[in-house]
Amino acid sequence: MNTNDHASGEFSEDQAKDPAGWRFDNSYARLPEVMYSRLSPVPVRSPRMAVFNAGLAEYLGLNADLLAGEEGVAIFSGNRLPSGAEPLAQAYAGHQFGYFTMLGDGRAILLGEQITPRGERFDIQFKGSGQTPFSRRGDGRAALGPMLREYIISEAMHALGIPTTRSLAVVTTGEPVYRESELAGAILTRVASSHIRVGTFEYQASQGDPELIRILAGYTLQRHFPELEDAENPPLALLRAVMERQAALVAKWMLVGFVHGVMNTDNMALSGETIDYGPCAFMDAYDPATVFSSIDQQGRYAYGNQPRIAGWNLTRFAETLVPVLDAHQEQAVTMANDLLESFSGLFRDQWLMGMRAKLGLFTDEDEDLDLIQDLLTLLHQQRLDYTNSLRDLAAEHPEQLPSFKGEAFTKWLPRWQSRLDRQSQPRQAVRESMLAHNPAVIPRNHRVEEALEAAVTRNDMGVMQRLLDVLARPFEDPEDQNYRLPPPASAPAYKTFCGT
């Protein structure tokens, strides 16, 4: 999770004495009210705790022991609001599969902004907490399976060192939700550096008042990039900073084989955190065309398209800033375009740096890109597992492993080993570096489904907890090596669904 500044440190007497540790300072609620709608969560019938993240609670400065019990059930269901909360639903728009739509928090409510003991500021948001003015005929609720799925994947991403929103708790509501069938209802409590999205700016741009964009840009700079508030052109500095964070984020996705699945502009957080784990999944066999989402019929958000889509989304963000970049529109457009042209290079540098680390390369050589691309081509041609293949290269004698005995690899491996010989680091240091950058375990899709089925159909949280324990240490070889295995070849193609 990204940290941010500007906590006020001023709390009411009730908050200062709050036994659960809630310390809210709700800066977003002080913005113009066109940016949100104030309302409270809709109470639920008979909530129960499904899973609670005690470690994250403690990091936030909360009383984990208290919130793990009935107090937490009441709070995380929305049946009781802690002191200092100012619940609201945020307004935003978004390009969904390329088409502009007015959106907003249709089933989410921002409870408030928690100030941690370190002075960091984090949004506390409910997901599945009832209808809002932005629900668009939806019920505002969520099903248990997708909420547990977000809990698993977001916590796995955190353990992998990838900026992400996190999951504090999931409670069941005791009420059904109806999708294709009747499902158990649930509410996720999500923690984020903020929920400011590209779509947040798109919504304000649609209001036709440049002052709203100026206010929102200033707020975003203050919250996430305070060092840039005094820049010569603050909105331009904001665009550049957001581009840099997105380049780094998407590169990290690509390095672990993560497919977000629904990279709409409303799902791109300006903080640089991964947000909204709907139809996401992790790639097994390497293939740039990998798509898991059932609604992505054309592969718009395929694994290999993610850098291009990130650039497309950033262009939409830049368009919202044009009115405040320069008094002359033509000059503003030129400034934005000049900056946007650098995104592909920013991403390439981040990705190449990461791939060098995965291959144990401590130095830079011009031929590295060809070496890496040739390896990926071999993985693709032979349908080899992306995660395991890169991890296995760290073996003391990778050439003896069955996966690397084909003729193509007998030509590639000496090139790589010769490249290693041209740097001063000993092979043991190379191995250690590779093991630290290539995870042993990822949230294998069939393992995630196994955990969700046990939780949802049998009320057995043990399978999920064991999976979470393994995923919390992704760079360690698990005692149970089955967690490393991809699904059997006979398994049907994996499909994911958005869960809304």
Given this model, what pLDDT does residue 4 score?
Answer: 52
Given this model, what pLDDT does residue 14 score?
Answer: 58
Give the residues of the chain that fall short of pLDDT 50. 3, 5-7
pTM of the model as a whole = 0.95
Given this model, what pLDDT does residue 359 score?
Answer: 98
Given this model, what pLDDT does residue 6 score?
Answer: 45
Given this model, what pLDDT does residue 5 score?
Answer: 44
Residues 94-122 have pLDDT tens digits of 999 999 999 999 999 999 999 999 999 99
Query: CA nearest 387: which of 283, 480, 289?
Result: 283
Angle at 459 between CA 456 and CA 460, to 5 degrees: 105
- 276: annotated active-site residue: no
Given this model, what pLDDT does residue 1 score?
Answer: 62
Residue whose pair of structure tokens reads 């902004």 in the numeric block: 113
Residues 6 or more apart from 300 whose CB is under 8 A from it?
A: 97, 98, 309
Given this model, what pLDDT does residue 403 score?
Answer: 85
Q: Which of 18, 105, 123, 266 is catalytic?
A: 266
How far apart (Å, rounded) are the C-alpha atoms in residues 197 and 272? 10
Q: How far is CA 343 from CA 164, 230, 250, 326, 338, in A?
A: 21, 23, 11, 21, 10
Residues 168-178 have pLDDT tens digits of 999 999 999 99
